[in-house]
Structure 1
Amino acid sequence: MIIRRNVKVYNLTLNSRFKSSTTRIFTENLAAPAYKPEVVEANKYDEWESRGLFTAKNSSQEPVFSVVLPPPNVTGKLHLGHALSCTIQDVIVRRKRSLGHNVLWLPGTDHAGIATQGVVENYLKSKQNVTRHEIGREKFNTEVWKWKEKHGNTICNQLRTLGCSLDWSRQVFTMDQNHSHAVNTAFIQLFERGLIYRKKALVNWCNALKSTVSDIEVENKLISTPTDIKLPGYKNLVKFGLMYNFAYKIYDSDEEVIVSTTTPETMLGDTAIAVHPNDSRYKHLQGKRVVHPFRNDTIPVIFDEMVDTKLGTGAVKITPAHSKIDNEVAKRHRLPSIQVINEDGLMQTCQLFDQMKRYDCRQKLVEHLDGMGLLKSIHPHQMTLPMCSRTGDVLEHLPKEQWFLSCRKLNKAASSAVINGQLKINPDKYIKNWINWTEDERDWCISRQLWWGHQIPAYKCSVDKDVIWIAATDEILAKIQASKYLRTAPEDINIVRDTDVLDTWFSSGIYPFAALGWPETYNSIDYKHFYPLNLMVTGHDILGFWVHRMVMLGIELTGKLPFNNILLHGVICDNKGAKMSKSKGNVIDPIDVINGISLENLKIKAEEMYKDGVLNKEELYKAINYHKTNYSNTKGIPECGVDALRLTLLSQDIKSHFVNFDVHQCHANKLFCNKIWQSIKYMQLSFDKLRPIEGITRNDLTYFDKWILSRLAEMVDKVNKAIDEYDFHLATKAIKTLIYSEFCDVYLEATKPGFDNEDEAIGYAHAHTLSAVLNTSLRCLAPIMIYITEELIPKIPDFENNIIHNFNDKNKLYFDYPQTKDFEIWKNKDLENQVTRLLNVTSLVRELKGMYNISNKIKTSIYVKTNDDVLMLDLDNNENIVLHLTKCGYLKINVDDCKYSVSTLLDKDTEIKLAIDDENAFNIIEAAKEKLRNKIKKLEDNLNKLEAKFSTKHYITSVPEVTKALDKEKLLVKKEEIKQLQRLI
């Protein structure tokens, strides 16, 4: 989609009546000699927004298309993941607008409970030297709101910089009054339907955060070798990656059972030893008990099939209070649960170790086991450490009373929607993941021990020892409801509101309908017109955490799917395919790509992030080294501009698991922008050469005019199909191929002789074609490269009646998007095949010049010997263009009078000779041939070495098959290169 200015632009029709089309439309010339993104992008977005061009109409008369922006954290700043997702959505909605749809693209930000609370806590500590506990909940939340008002619009302004055409008039914040009302309503309705309940269960607990965290906040860190890690609250590093083997003595026996664990401190809460029922080593222990060395009691040996007999000793300690797997075993065997680590990460109910930090306890406990003769060994062991992604602390599993959403019924509906085809997932490879998520019968823990967020609308109501939990909007209603169950007057009821808040994923789970006015659907125009949404676009990595929950809650609370189509894109990676992360140092700020940044300023920026606590020292060093390795040649990240960034993001297959981003490719796309810029300048200069003549018709179009129009029709078809299927990389490839390889490199060059031709109708035919092709190409490119197309489309020279098109959309807000049906008349495959053979001749001549190092300053002639009558005619009719493209002096067909030449075969029917008209021709050719022979010999020697290496026994038996396949491909490439060079001698 391109926003219209007050200039004359046109709507494509292909009515062949057009004639007498020489009246010029005068356009403003491009003042700048070259493309400068900072100039082209200036002020355009502000103008679009002030004119309300992104505001959806309160009408359903036109086709409606609605989508919501996955709300970024209010604390956040734009990163390449945002940039990818937002660019995908922006291209879709801009194209929909240009096709006549009434589009709503709804923006919003998420209150991000954990992240925002952490940021403000750090801010208060650094600025006022106070903690949230010192100022209290109410004042702390006031400080969060102040922080949000001051800093919360950063990412929204960055989205504007990126050009995202969001309807800012409808912007949502998930802590706004309307959204909070929707969250409370959702909780109360689900509670009343029996789907939300409260129970004590094991949860992911972060000691540093003092809260449960959802699975998405768990970062499973693989520890391959013994590793020292700095943890919150510990002065010294804590070592992980060790397996501790210790023994339990069989009660009333000298026998012992050895168990293995990576967390020896949890043995203080062991309530059983488990072995497999078929393990012959332990069958004699049926009914036996072992002595717990620190609790002065015994625990049973139990038999359970979950035990892996091949792992360790085949005997497993069972700690129900601190392991989800062990907790399930305990339920089956009715074992007690003993919590030995509290919410502060301190040991409890352990006598000797009470109030010790858990990892200080580990060290002391191991020493005691050793002193008791029970410690058998400690050795390195690979393990996975559950880390809190927010704090860097190691998570514990603790038993705690929490609120849960029952998911079985909701999952069934979500699963059926996909299986029955009502909900489509693109790409469909993720359907399997969806089924896995919806088959998981675990309930969702939706409460968090935070202060910032939606406080749970639930009240603990009690009279004496009778207690009941009630979900209600306020205390009065809660007491009235409770009185029905407690059989007493409301005023006699003691009431306390739950201090916990809801998981942020709960409030974002109702976002698609709450943002449009739910639950007040009776008076919400937006809900009536735009719900359900047409599409949801997000990363595949949150399919289960967010998309799944939106579908569950949407079906249950609105009776409808919140959307019928899901588009999942990949995770952003660097140019080597490594996922971007602080730990790798390879994170790229899209604003740095847009504006450019020096190597020195990259270092300063990283150091500031280290001072602010965003990076640790190791991450700082990795970031600086990454910058030096990747950006030293360019002395930093070169300025690329928004359009080049957007084009680069969409040049990869967004539906693949990972999407690579290369800064250098982005800069190359900036040069592509300049190529387009120079094309417009060439057109303007060429149009100035035209002298008034009487009208021309389509019969005046030349061979190359018709060819480029056929290629244009093919491009329009490919682009429309590709964008409809969200294959943006195929769309960008088709557009770049046409503009770069066909329009600029061939057609534009082929028009130069025409504009200087005495037959002025040829110049006019070229002028009409140039205008039509570039106008159409830029309209196809417009949703992707929004600023340069907005700048250039109005400046494309044209005529009042173009013999190829007639755009009459003066009153439209957006440039029309080219449609396949409007271009089919120009398709001509036979002509394309003819031109391809003609261009193969020019390419071969240029290749000969390049291989033999023959400068364009040396006079050369082309000799073509062929039996192809069509090729002969095409060469004869387009001699001046062939000579212009090859920079040769003469073209001779089936004439053999050249003395000094180099030659090669186009095919079995055609030979191409390049004759040198120079007194040193013989020496030039012999020197070039010798150079070519040396190059071929060098390649053959390298090929022989590779083949010898690949045939060795070590290579055949030891090298992975993947590497062999790549090496085989290298060999084929080298063989083909040698073959191509040999045909030139």
Structure 2
Amino acid sequence: MTETPTLRSIDLPPAWEPATVEAELYRGWVDAGYFTADASSDKPPFTIVLPPPNVTGSLHMGHALNHTVMDALTRRRRMQGYEVLWLPGMDHAGIATQNVVERQLAGEGVSRHDLGREKFVERVWEWKAEYGGKILDQMKRLGDGVDWSRERFTMDEGLSRAVQTVFKRLFDDGLIYRAERIINWCPRCRTALSDIEVEHSDDDGELVSIRYGDGADAIVVATTRAETMLGDTAVAVHPDDERYRHLVGTEVELPLTGRRIPIVADEHVDPAFGTGAVKVTPAHDPNDFEIGRRHDLPSITVMDDSAVITTPGPFQGLDRFEARPAVVAALREAGRIVAEKRPYVHSVGHCSRCDTVVEPRLSLQWWVNVEPLARAAGDAVRDGRTQVHPPELAKRYFDWVDNMHDWTISRQLWWGHRIPVWYGPDDQVVCVGPDEQPPTGEGWRQDPDVLDTWFSSGLWPLSTLGWPDKTPDLAKFYPTSVLSTGYDILFFWVARMMMFGLYAGEDVQPFDHVYLHGLIRDAQGKKMSKSRGNVLDPLDWLDRFGADATRFTLARGANPGSDMALAEEWAAGSRNFCTKLWNASRFALMNGATTATAVPDRATLTDADRWILDSLDTLVSDVDTLFDGFQFAKLCDALYHFTWDLYCDWYLELAKVQIAEGGERADATRAVLGHVLDTVLRLLHPVTPFVTEVLWKSLTGGESLVVADWPKPAGAAADAAAAQRVEGVQRLVTEIRRFRADQGVKPGQRVSARLSGVDAAGLSAHTAAVTALARLTAPGEAFAPSAALEVPLAGGAVTVELDLSGTVDVAAERKRLGKDLSVAEKELAQCEAKLGNPKFTDKAPADVVDKIRARRDTAAAEITRIRGRLDALPAGGE
């Protein structure tokens, strides 16, 4: 029997305590300049621009997932020899930031109008300096390897220059125009919203059917927004609807108003929906607006920007939600209500910033003609210049860019990029570029609106690199390599960056790859929300489990395009993995694992050595393939399986036996042990940077894993025979361990045993390993086997005879097995009783009956196993 080798002391704490080292390690990386990119480098570039979080934001699980992905990508490329730029920054978040500061002012009893525009904007900048950007500090806790020297903000002078430049170009090219159209209006924020800033939910409402006109000429329409009828200017029906053909071209009286409105025929109307007739309110519905344009109908606005009724009469001054029941009551009194359905669940748009119900409203706004821009954005993906991962989500992208409506870009806010247009006293309109002087003189005024936040963030890949100037950064790092983001903002941000990037970047795509990850949900797959109480906080996880465990958990669940169900126990499991890696590394180091000595020629190595090296080669190749395919979940599973199962659970134990032999065998094993650990730490570093850095520096004495080389496969031909013999050892040891447990032998107790058939199975060189790992001792003169098992292997069966005398407390084992037998017999009786009852078997669902049958079979098998174990116990002990 081999003896445990003498362990050497190592300079590592006995336990991994991330909180004690993470901050210092991160500062060291930043101070060393590891994350600072060099535009003059001759290395190939790899660029990611951080999706800029809102200046008001805080790190949430979605951020943590995306940042983990981006950090893993950039750390790997840096190790592969690329000049890596991961550029950080923040978005000024127009509506969100203005709301925050306005709430702060309200607490002081002041409004922005009290301050005036200039003072208010100064106050926002003060807020930003004091409170904004806390998410950037939280990124450091996560380990983000961003280039802090290039941090940008969407309201920086350089980025403002880019925004003004592209606005001027679009304006001069006729792609920006001002027009009165239906927009999404938030009465709370008092600004226009683009379609993508509106979130829809199924809300309870009321569907009211109203009769317009009387007698044979009456026509019934249904609406969920009765108050808007005050602005109706027509009733529309489908031209092929026989029911109403005689009414087309006639007029009908609009109830409560005394106005007469026409009945028009329009193909937009669905004759199968409701009554087949719809009220037309061009100033308060986007579809009605288009009908109104086709039929030259007037547009009557009935609400102000606070959604208060302005139409003269009894409803004037009422909020829209007060006016709605009042209008219905008046219609009911007039005998005009045909039917009322409540609750009526329907889709309602809400402001994504404040959750106020959005009001469609006719308004004069600035628009981008997106058709040529969107077409170019679609072509860049179709021809492969930009690749979407996973590919199946490209269809969603095409669905959006191929059907995009013109984009309303003006916002009635004070915080943001001011629209660079001046109006003159004689109705002149002048758009001013960044190097041009605005017109001066009496009567000239600048447009009061600001640009949609997505307008400036759509330029992010270009503007952060210095565009419109031809900067070294732009020349080196554009186009960017990867955009990583959630699929939920594929339309919000990705399409806009593609449009602007191709337009301003002279048909060069802003990024080569778009990786779309899913959303994070709770363990039951439900969307996280504060109201449900199921929100998981990454900052809490960082405190409790450490950055590496948090990152590994997120990456291990990141399948491209798929949502992730996340549970706290997963983070605990990842922490256990980090602990396992730590303990295994300490064990390897104490057993002399080293990288100072090269791995000897393969011919001199053992089966176990060649097996682990071949497995390592496969791992390196697989991890590279999975990284390139953005398959983070699969690459984490591959790393986890190799590290825990192959290296920790098997090779370390086999190596321990080999080291105990001493001499050249021990030295070779220490070299293999160190080489494999070195490679594993390098492969794990992009996902778990902190624990791997500490362990790798202790193993190698190297400068830092951040700038270490990325592993490459050795390329040696795999030794299939060695792998088969090692697998035979694993199976044999596993079966002996299982048999010992079934016999009630304690895990640490040594048992005298004799092995037969080892030579025929090809495992004669592995006897020492089997006996050591299975806790066996060689049979003595008094060896009297009391139990035996046969293990079939590829080369032949191995018989193991064991002397269990004195190894089992027979009385205690009989008592334990007796209790287990009683439980199994009770389970069998209950199952048989159910299955013997026709009322159950005839009426219960088939899957329920099948489950009971499966439970019966399991219980019967357990009874057989326990009785066999009882029969095999030595006599006595009662």
Q: Offset at 1:923?
A: 7.2
> Does residue 1:779 correspond to 2:682, yes or no?
yes
Per mean C-alpha deviation after superposition, the further-off stretch among 137-146 and 253-262 is 253-262
Q: Offset at 1:389?
A: 2.1
* Alpha-carbon contact 1:858-1:916 (below 8 Å) kept: no
Per mean C-alpha deviation after superposition, the further-off stretch among 63-72 and 765-774 is 765-774
* Alpha-carbon contact 2:682-2:711 (below 8 Å) kept: yes
Per mean C-alpha deviation after superposition, the further-off stretch among 877-886 and 914-923 is 914-923
Q: Offset at 1:51?
A: 1.6
SS in 1 for 2:155: coil
Q: Offset at 1:62?
A: 1.2
* Alpha-carbon contact 1:346-1:358 (below 8 Å) kept: yes
Pair 870,818 (structure 1): closer, same or farther in 2 beyond 3 Å? farther
Q: Which residue of 2 aligns with 1:11?
A: none
Pair 727,857 (structure 1): closer, same or farther in 2 beyond 3 Å? closer
> Does residue 1:525 correspond to 2:525, yes or no?
no
Q: Which residue of 1 aligns with 2:237?
A: 275
- 1:626-669 Cα deviation digits (max 9, x unpaired): xxxxxxxxxxxxx1000111111111133132123222111221
Q: Offset at 1:203?
A: 0.5
1:943-954 matches, within 5 Å, as none
SS in 2 for 1:300: strand
Per mean C-alpha deviation after superposition, the further-off stretch among 701-710 and 253-262 is 253-262
Which of 546, 554, 557 is residue 641 of structure 1 equivalent to?
546
Distance in 2, matches of 1:413 and 1:950, equals 64
> Does residue 1:343 correspond to 2:305, yes or no?
yes
Q: Which residue of 2 aligns with 1:838?
A: 729
Distance in 1, matches of 2:295 and 2:830, equals 69
- 1:691-712 Cα deviation digits (max 9, x unpaired): xx9x986554323222222222
1:278-427 matches, within 5 Å, as 278-379=240-341, 380-427=343-390
Which of 516, 521, 539 is residue 573 of structure 1 equivalent to?
521
1:830-979 matches, within 5 Å, as 830-856=721-747, 860-861=751-752, 871=761, 873-874=762-763, 876-890=764-778, 898-901=785-788, 910=797, 915-918=802-805, 955=845
Distance in 1, matches of 2:118 and 2:196, equals 28
Q: Offset at 1:303?
A: 2.7
Q: Which residue of 1 aligns with 2:871?
A: none
Say how many residue pairs are matched: 852
Distance in 1, matches of 2:856 and 2:610, equals 38
Q: Which residue of 1 aligns with 2:695?
A: 792
Distance in 2, matches of 1:914 and 1:408, equals 80
> Does residue 1:725 correspond to 2:632, yes or no?
no
Q: Which residue of 2 aligns with 1:158?
A: 138
Structure 2: which amino acid aligns with 1:407?
V
1:95-110 matches, within 5 Å, as 95-110=76-91
SS in 1 for 2:556: coil
Query: Share of identical aligned residues, percent?
Result: 35
Q: Which residue of 2 aligns with 1:249?
A: 213
Distance in 2, matches of 1:378 and 1:75, equals 44
Pair 688,470 (structure 1): closer, same or farther in 2 beyond 3 Å? closer
SS in 2 for 1:205: strand
Pair 310,583 (structure 1): closer, same or farther in 2 beyond 3 Å? farther
Which of 488, 505, 510 is residue 562 of structure 1 equivalent to?
510
* Alpha-carbon contact 2:788-2:799 (below 8 Å) kept: no
Q: Which residue of 2 aligns with 1:175?
A: 155
Q: Which residue of 2 aligns with 1:221?
A: 201
Q: Which residue of 2 aligns with 1:630?
A: none
Structure 2: which amino acid aligns with 1:887?
R
SS in 1 for 2:476: helix
Distance in 2, matches of 1:286 and 1:504, equals 45
Structure 2: which amino acid aligns with 1:955?
P
Distance in 2, matches of 1:541 and 1:273, equals 37
Which of 738, 752, 761 is residue 642 of structure 2 equivalent to?
738
Distance in 1, matches of 2:13 and 2:220, equals 80
> Does residue 1:472 correspond to 2:427, yes or no?
no
- 1:67-104 Cα deviation digits (max 9, x unpaired): 10111111111111111111111111111111111111
Distance in 2, matches of 1:561 and 1:969, equals 56
1:119-138 matches, within 5 Å, as 119-126=100-107, 128-138=108-118
Pair 969,69 (structure 1): closer, same or farther in 2 beyond 3 Å? farther
Query: What runs of 5+ residues in structure 1 fail to find an aligned partner?
Result: 1-25, 224-239, 480-489, 596-638, 799-808, 957-963
* Alpha-carbon contact 1:714-1:827 (below 8 Å) kept: no
Pair 330,515 (structure 1): closer, same or farther in 2 beyond 3 Å? same
Q: Offset at 1:890?
A: 4.4
Q: Which residue of 1 aligns with 2:3?
A: none
Distance in 2, matches of 1:114 and 1:384, equals 24
1:692-707 matches, within 5 Å, as 699-707=603-611
Q: Offset at 1:61?
A: 1.2
Which of 650, 656, 660 is residue 565 of structure 2 equivalent to?
660
Q: Offset at 1:209?
A: 0.4
1:786-825 matches, within 5 Å, as 786-796=689-699, 814-820=707-713, 823-825=714-716
Structure 1: which amino acid aligns with 2:776?
C
SS in 2 for 1:825: coil
Q: Offset at 1:546?
A: 0.8
Structure 1: which amino acid aligns with 2:489?
I
Per mean C-alpha deviation after superposition, the further-off stretch among 925-934 and 404-413 is 925-934
Structure 1: which amino acid aligns with 2:381?
V
* Alpha-carbon contact 2:697-2:703 (below 8 Å) kept: no
Structure 2: which amino acid aligns with 1:328?
E
Per mean C-alpha deviation after superposition, the further-off stretch among 302-311 and 360-369 is 302-311
Q: Offset at 1:914?
A: 6.0
Distance in 2, matches of 1:219 and 1:950, equals 48
* Alpha-carbon contact 1:646-1:784 (below 8 Å) kept: yes
- 1:554-594 Cα deviation digits (max 9, x unpaired): 11112111112111111122222222223322222211111
Distance in 1, matches of 2:370 and 2:825, equals 69
Q: Which residue of 2 aligns with 1:88?
A: 69
Higher relative contact order, structure no. (Cα contacts within 8 Å, ≥ 6 residues apart): 1
Aligned CA RMSD, in angstroms, stands at 3.4
Query: What runs of 5+ residues in structure 2 fail to find an aligned partner?
Result: 1-6, 869-878
1:574-653 matches, within 5 Å, as 574-595=522-543, 639-653=544-558
SS in 1 for 2:213: strand
* Alpha-carbon contact 2:685-2:705 (below 8 Å) kept: no
* Alpha-carbon contact 2:48-2:86 (below 8 Å) kept: yes
- What TM-score comes out, normalization by structure 2 length? 0.90
Distance in 1, matches of 2:717 and 2:859, equals 37
Pair 920,587 (structure 1): closer, same or farther in 2 beyond 3 Å? closer
Pair 911,441 (structure 1): closer, same or farther in 2 beyond 3 Å? same
Pair 920,28 (structure 1): closer, same or farther in 2 beyond 3 Å? closer
Q: Which residue of 1 aligns with 2:620?
A: 716
> Does residue 1:48 correspond to 2:12, yes or no?
no
Which of 426, 438, 444 is residue 407 of structure 2 equivalent to?
444
Structure 1: which amino acid aligns with 2:481?
N
